Amino acid sequence: MASKTTVEQRESAVPVQNDPDILNAAARLAGEDLCSIADLSSAEVRAILKLGHHVKRDPRAYRNALDAKQMVLMFEKASLRTRLSFEAGFSTLGGNAIFVDHTSSPLGERESIADVARNVERWVDIIVLRTYAHDTITEMAARARVPVVNALSDFEHPCQALADFMTLEEHFGSVTGLNFTYVGDGNNVCHSLMMTGAQLGANVTVATPRGYSPDIEIVTKAREIAEANGCEVKLLQDPQVAVENADAVYTDVCVSMGMEHESTKRAPIFRPFQVNEALMGKARENAVFMHCLPARRNAEVTDAVLDGPQSIVFDQAENRMHAQKALLLLLLGGLSNVKNFSF
């Protein structure tokens, strides 16, 4: 396994301030939304991750980049990592984060999403949503004149996927040609991981039980991206085969928030997809284990794997903040306030 210095050594060859991917992404993404990984080009995904590594290494350089900017977090779902990583990250960039709890009153119920957008856009610079319906996010993006970020919907989780592949770059230096295997439910996290891996040239294998495959439109899109980047996306139903030669093995809960009523039905179906020491033993010797958290211990993953030496789950959690800081800098034009960046 490559050391974490690999990324730093690779990036030092081209100063981040002069990186064409970052400069082009800054020009293109300012004022835009992030509803889906499909909203980003491969170059823009690379730019976010490059900037994320630099922000993590040298946070002081970006301390006042978003001075006096306001961000609102409007969440229909409970959160630990997403809320704290956005709030802490935005404040260290000089901005102010406002949290609005919608767990008991979904967006669009008290007043229309259009009316919410027309109000909120006058007070804040960016809207971060964590919702059930993906349509809530796309409608807010269509109505609001400020950027809207998908911090999780039932269809995608783009910020999680960006942080995950940033973490893989830390461990492997590059993810081009990496064998990435996802085992479990073909859910929102799986969707974003498939497309992010394809954008970066990783070979993505997804193993799900019959009837729980990822959305066919996402699969088609991910395969189109993969073909353009010289990698592949495969769907399987046998986790034992899927993890062979894997560099990274990823899983998630088999019962997402809002689907708790299916717990009893799903438990026996997903039991053969548990990531345990025997399954990890079929991956490459230096393979890493990943999970977006929270985990249901000894359900989709055993304690021995989650807490074991191959696990990088808490690196992933930390990098949520750094990847999101990079994203916010690009969407809000913050690099123009950072010394040595020129446009």
Determine contact, residues 160/152, Cβ cutoff 8 Å: yes
Q: What is the pLDDT of residue 342?
A: 61
CA 55 to chain centroid, in Å, comes to 17
Whether residues 303 and 328 share a domain: the answer is: no
Q: What is the pLDDT of residue 9?
A: 40
User: Can you tell me the distance from the alpha carbon of 76 to that of 110, in angstroms, rounded to the nearest whole number?
Assistant: 13
Rg of the chain over all Cα atoms, to the nearest angstrom: 19
Whether residues 28 and 140 share a domain: the answer is: yes
Q: List, by residue number, the catalytic residues.
A: 130, 157, 160, 252, 292, 320
In a domain, 291, yes or no: yes
Q: What is the pLDDT of residue 208?
A: 98
Domains identified in the chain, total number: 2
User: Can you tell me the distance from the alpha carbon of 169 to that of 148, in angstroms, rounded to the nearest whole number?
Assistant: 27
Q: What is the pLDDT of residue 262?
A: 81
Q: What is the pLDDT of residue 263?
A: 81
Tens digit of each residue's pLDDT (9 = 90 or more) over 276-334:
999 999 999 999 999 999 999 999 999 999 999 999 999 999 999 999 999 999 999 99
CATH number of the domain within which 44 lies: 3.40.50.1370
* Residue 158, pLDDT above cutoff 50: yes
Whether residues 238 and 210 share a domain: the answer is: yes
Whether residues 171 and 289 share a domain: the answer is: yes
In a domain, 118, yes or no: yes
**Averaged pLDDT, 247-254:** 97
In a domain, 11, yes or no: no
**Averaged pLDDT, 44-56:** 97
* Residue 3, pLDDT above cutoff 70: no
Whether residues 172 and 214 share a domain: the answer is: yes
Whether residues 123 and 190 share a domain: the answer is: no
The candidate with the shortest Cα–Cα distance to 117, out of 4, 241, 33, is: 33
Per-residue confidence at 4, pLDDT binned at 50, 70, 90? Answer: very low
Whether residues 103 and 231 share a domain: the answer is: no
User: Can you tell me the distance from the alpha carbon of 59 to that of 140, in angstroms, rounded to the nearest whole number?
Assistant: 31
User: Can you tell me the distance from the alpha carbon of 227 to that of 248, in angstroms, rounded to the nearest whole number?
Assistant: 21
* Residue 10, pLDDT above cutoff 50: no
* Residue 120, pLDDT above cutoff 60: yes
* Residue 343, pLDDT above cutoff 70: no
* Residue 6, pLDDT above cutoff 60: no
The count of C-alpha atoms lying within 13 angstroms of the C-alpha of 65, restricted to the half-sphere facing its C-beta, is: 27
Determine which helix (DSSP H) or strand (DSSP E) holds 126, and give its type and residue range.
strand 126-130
Q: What is the pLDDT of residue 340?
A: 79
Whether residues 152 and 254 share a domain: the answer is: no
Whether residues 325 and 283 share a domain: the answer is: no
Tens digit of each residue's pLDDT (9 = 90 or more) over 121-148:
999 999 999 999 999 999 999 999 999 9
In a domain, 9, yes or no: no
Q: Which domain does 295 fall in, by range?
A: 160-312
Per-residue confidence at 1, pLDDT binned at 50, 70, 90? Answer: very low
**Averaged pLDDT, 70-91:** 97
In a domain, 10, yes or no: no
In a domain, 295, yes or no: yes
Q: What ranges make up the beta strands (E) of 230-335? A: 233-236, 248-251, 288-291
Structure tokens at 318: 């930390």
Whether residues 172 and 111 share a domain: the answer is: no
Question: Buried b / exposed e across 215-251, counting CB within 10 Å, b at 16+?
Answer: beebbebbbebbeebebebebbbebeebbeebbbbbb
Whether residues 304 and 243 share a domain: the answer is: yes
Q: What is the pLDDT of residue 261?
A: 73
State what percent of residues in the chain have pLDDT above 90.
90
In a domain, 2, yes or no: no
Per-residue confidence at 11, pLDDT binned at 50, 70, 90? Answer: very low
**Averaged pLDDT, 223-235:** 98
For CA atoms 187, 190, 192, 194, the dihedral sign is negative
pTM: 0.94
Per-residue confidence at 257, pLDDT binned at 50, 70, 90? Answer: low
Whether residues 30 and 146 share a domain: the answer is: yes
In a domain, 343, yes or no: no
State what percent of residues in the chain have pLDDT above 70.
94
